[in-house]
Amino acid sequence: MDFALRALAQDFGHGHVLAAHRHRWGQLIFAAGGTMRVRAGNVVWLVPPSRALWAPAGVTHAIEMRSATAMRTVYVPPGRDVGLPVATVAIEVAPLLRELILHIVSRGMLREDLAEEARLADVFVDQLRSAEQLKLQLPMPQDRRVRPLAERLLADPSDERTLEVLARACGASTRTIQRIFQGETGMRFVAWRQRLRLLHAVSQLHLGASVTRAGAEAGYASTSAFIAAFRQQMGETPARYLRRRP
């Protein structure tokens, strides 16, 4: 029997980790509720509620639940993934796509030899192709001198230590760290750190934190500084972001 799509519903508690794995089919990882952090290659992705991550077939990824999470997954077989992104991307899940995901998950699978189910799979893939892509990723450096530093900041984005202090802790000069970050992530260290803090703040906002608390937990010195950084990166204030993406 040939399947047009397969789907799975799983609920997890905060802190649960799905170890690194990969699939022969492409995978849409949807956060029906809760927030996930996904590592795919050398990039960390944030997947807030009602957003999704598209992981093409063969991409190794690990998933960490940042809250109690309702994960809904749709698998797309080779041949049906034509025109879908060939790299991992985060996407906005529009209302129609959301309903399609939930309906497909409720059925578990769609068969190619049933015309109605094949047409439903076509509509799903069409919606996936046209979905808005989101900048919810953070590239991670791989250099052995800098990776531990990046991991520490990922674990605690509010860490207030300066680059000079962090450099001494990992036994490298600030110039070396700057060079490695620029070369391996395409971002200056200060821009990388700001992106990290912003993504953490977005996660906190989706978990119900106030703008003030989200900014403070992400390491911003003041609410105004957080709002300014958020507007610069996201093109809108945190309040407007949440109104448009509840």
Q: State the CATH number of the domain containing residue 123.
A: 2.60.120.280
Spatial contact of 61 and 92, defined as CB atoms under 8 Å apart: no
Q: Is 156 in the same domain as 35? A: no
**CATH at 163:** 1.10.10.60
**Residue 111 pLDDT:** 95
Residue after which a domain boundary falls, among 106, 134, 162: 134
Residue 208 is predicted with a pLDDT of: 84
The predicted pLDDT at position 38 comes to 96
Same domain, 121 and 9: yes
Query: Whole-model pTM?
Result: 0.86
70 and 166 belong to one structural domain = no
Q: Write down the pLDDT at residue 105.
A: 97
Residues 126 and 164 in one domain: no
Residues 100 and 117 in one domain: yes
The pLDDT assigned to 1 comes to: 60
Q: What is the pLDDT of residue 113?
A: 92
How many structural domains are present in the chain?
2
Q: How far is CA 233 from CA 155, 195, 205, 237, in A?
A: 21, 8, 15, 10
Q: Are residues 16 and 38 in the same domain?
A: yes
Same domain, yes or no: 108 and 224 = no
Point out the domain boundary residue: 118, 134, 150: 134
At residue 246, the pLDDT reads: 53
Q: What distance in Å separates the CA atoms of residue 20 and residue 9, rounded to the nearest whole number?
A: 19
The amino acid at residue 229 is A
- pLDDT tens by residue, the chain, 246 residues: 689 999 999 999 999 999 999 999 999 999 998 899 999 989 999 998 889 999 999 999 999 998 899 999 999 999 999 999 999 999 999 999 999 999 999 999 999 999 999 999 999 999 999 999 988 899 999 998 899 899 999 988 888 889 999 888 888 899 999 999 999 999 999 999 999 999 989 888 888 889 999 988 888 888 998 999 888 887 888 888 877 765
Among 134, 156, 182, residue at a domain's last position: 134
Predicted pLDDT at 245: 61
The number of beta carbons lying within 10 Å of the beta carbon of residue 235 is 9
C-beta of residue 34 within 8 angstroms of C-beta of residue 68: yes
Q: Is 145 found in the same domain as 56? A: no
Alpha-carbon gap, residue 104 to 238, rounded angstroms = 33
Q: Do 84 and 30 reside in the same domain of the chain?
A: yes
Domain that holds residue 182: 140-244
Residues 180 and 127 in one domain: no
